[in-house]
Amino acid sequence: MIQVERAINAISSMNSGEKRLAPQERAVGVTGRAMRTSMYRLSISRASAVWRVLPCLALAILGAVLVTSPALAQQPNDSELGLIELDSSTENDQLDSQQRAREGEIAQELSLRRQAIDELQGSQGIYAPELQEAYGDLASLFEEMDDFESAIAVYFDALQISRINTGLYSDQQLPIIQSLIEGNSQLRNWEATDDLQELRYHISTRLYDLADLAYLEAAENYGAWKLRLLRQNLLDLSYRSYSGSAEELSEFYERLLLNLEVQPNFRAAKKIDVLQGKSEADLILVRAIATTPYTAFEGTVSRYINQQRCRNVRSASGQVVRECVSVQVENPRYRQSQRDAKRFALNRRTRAVQDSIDMLKQIYERSDELGSREREQLEAQIAELETETFQLLRQSRSRRLF
């Protein structure tokens, strides 16, 4: 207690001993302190703002370094670029050397095979049977060089040797003709390819019996080629030539089908293939007929008729006489007959397709030879044929085409 009182008294004495200031001096002192305080606060706020920005700036710089460093690391320097160019040039030189070596080997082999042909011709004659194989070896080398024109010329020489030694209809010609077909197909010489396909089928008809599997295979290959020829119109045929070829193909399949039916042991699968080809040929005809204007069809009546045109004229004596002349005019019934001709052709081919569909349905319902997978495929074929026939019939009813 006593100590507390002494402390209070000491503080009081110190306050009494201080110098008392005037009110103006006290105001100036307070203002100065306020200004100093505000300046301190402003500097502190600026410093704190700078310190707040510094971490963000540091993070941005660090991110930029991390992003650009892989790209910089991936960029090769001058020495690495030089090594890359050296490696690529080395590889190119190796490829060029390999190609030159291969060309040298082919040239040497070509010379040897030609020399072998010359020796055979000199020792055994220009029609020696051994020349057929020698010509085949030379032609195969031309094919390896993608020189199909030279290969075709040599294969024709081989075919000539084969015909002289084995006759016009020998099975030794078939592989040579096949090679000629492939070479002309590579050159897109479709007319020559078609002629060779005809020749191969013709020889097959002379070599094999109609019930022989070899003949059926030849017939299927021939029909498949003709279908491709028509689908793509490789020979750029006009409507008449195109429809004529399609009709011939349909008749070919019809004859083949009749031949199969008289055979005692023919499989239903073979009949399905023939019916499929015939229906495709008939559909090609239906499509051609449906998309062709009626004016392209030949009318069933005469296009022009003669009519009498008369008029009254004055004769030399001044009398009025009737003068008649015969003129040729277009038959008013001709356009309608063209529409009728188109409709008749369309109905005929549509019935042919429907007949093929009905026969396929009979095989599907009655045949015991078909497995589950073959039955599924046959069902899909029937549905596809029915759908396409229906669509073509709808398309054929367009007024523009009639």
Tens of pLDDT, residue by residue over 5-20, are 443 343 344 344 433 3
Each residue's pLDDT tens digit, 83-125: 555 566 666 767 777 788 778 888 899 999 999 999 999 999 9
Bridge partners (DSSP) listed for residue 330? 304
| Phi, psi angles (nearest 5°) of residue 329 | -130, 165
Q: What is the pLDDT of residue 59?
A: 54
User: End-to-end alpha-carbon separation of the chain, Å?
Assistant: 133
3-state SS class at 313? strand
Q: Which residues of the chain have pLDDT under 70?
A: 1-91, 93, 264-265, 396-402
Instruction: Give the whole-angstrom CA distance, residue 55 versus residue 121.
Output: 95
Instruction: Locate 275 and state its tokens.
Output: 């019916």
Report d(CA 93, CA 82) in Å as an integer. Answer: 16
Is residue 325 within a helix (H) or strand (E), and if so which, with residue range?
strand 320-330
Per CATH, the homologous superfamily of domain 99-297+343-357+365-387 is: Tetratricopeptide repeat domain (1.25.40.10)
Query: Of 356, 369, 366, 239, whose CA–CA distance to 292 is shortest?
Result: 239
Domain ranges of the chain: 99-297+343-357+365-387
Amino acid at 163: R
Q: Model's pTM, two decimal places? A: 0.68
